């Protein structure tokens, strides 16, 4: 099995890891392994771009836009006839 070393760990984070490990009745090392297993095993939900945009702009409220009336669709040009 592989091993890693985590340097420059914040003292408060180490304290909270120690407390959490004690609450679960295991070593800090086993607690860290369990946390890594849980986080890495999670599969992120598929990203929905429309929902992400809606969520980001929702706090600003809606916008009312006056749209001009639509005109009828023009006929498509015909290229099979010669001009005179």
Per residue in 39-53, pLDDT (tens digit) is 898 887 778 999 888
Instruction: Please report whether residue 49 resides in a domain.
Output: yes
Domain holding 21, by residue range, is 11-58
Instruction: Please report whether residue 82 resides in a domain.
Output: no
Determine the Cα–Cα distance for residues 28 and 13; give it in Å rounded to an integer: 11
How many folded domains does the chain comprise?
1
Whether 28 contacts 21, CB under 8 Å:
yes
Residue 82 has pLDDT above 90, yes or no: no
Instruction: Please report whether residue 77 resides in a domain.
Output: no
Instruction: Please report whether residue 64 resides in a domain.
Output: no
Per residue in 56-81, pLDDT (tens digit) is 988 888 778 899 999 999 989 888 87
Q: Residues 12-16: what's their mean pLDDT?
A: 96
Instruction: Please report whether residue 36 resides in a domain.
Output: yes
Whether 23 contacts 35, CB under 8 Å:
no
Whether 7 contacts 18, CB under 8 Å:
no
């Amino acid at each position: 099995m592989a091993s890693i070393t985590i340097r420059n760990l914040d003292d408060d984070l180490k304290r909270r890891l120690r407390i959490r490990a004690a609450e679960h009745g295991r070593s800090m090392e086993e607690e860290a392994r369990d946390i890594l297993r849980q986080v890495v095993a999670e599969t992120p939900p598929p990203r929905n771009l429309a929902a992400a945009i809606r969520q980001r702009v929702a706090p600003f409220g809606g916008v009312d836009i006056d749209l001009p009336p639509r005109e009828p669709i023009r006929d498509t040009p015909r290229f099979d006839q010669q001009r005179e």
